[in-house]
Amino acid sequence: MSLEQAIQALTAAVTTNNELLLRSMQSTVATAITAAPVAVQPVQPVQPVQQPAQPAAVTGMPAAPTFGFPTQAQQPAQPAAPVAPFSTQQELFNYTGAAYQAMGPEKGGKIQGILQTMGLTNLNDVKPEQYGNFYALVEQLKVSV
């Protein structure tokens, strides 16, 4: 079944469902209207509300606003650190080598630039807490033009 046929079938099903629902609602309303007679009550006039002659006197200045650091509940949530698919240095080397091979020497050579932006000079210097950031940057390099 093609996508167009599936859309047409779904559209027809929704239309049929809507028609059945509308008929059901109309019969329910008609039954309710004919089943219960409505007694008409006379309308009572509304008494106007009396306004005070003068507004209440202000008894001082409002409290001064306070400024401070937002509480933890008010602070925006920090984005979660990206999770790398590796957790050891050997897996880091394997991932980086595979990424380099997949991108080729020209684009893969930019991995060294990623290390430099992280303040590192060698792949051996990447710490386990930096794996997620390194992984995200390399993945971003893969999809860039």
pLDDT tens profile 13-49: 888 887 887 787 777 656 655 555 556 667 777 777 6
pLDDT tens profile 50-97: 666 666 666 677 777 776 666 666 556 666 667 888 899 999 999 999
CA 34 to chain centre: 48
Token look-up 């050891």 returns 88
What average pLDDT does this structure show over 95-116? 91
Closest CA to 99 of 109, 89, 90: 109
Residues 95, 135 contacting (CB under 8 angstroms): yes
Find which of 7-16, 18-27, 128-137 is predicted with most confidence, using mean pLDDT. Answer: 128-137
Domain boundaries, the chain: 1-34, 89-143
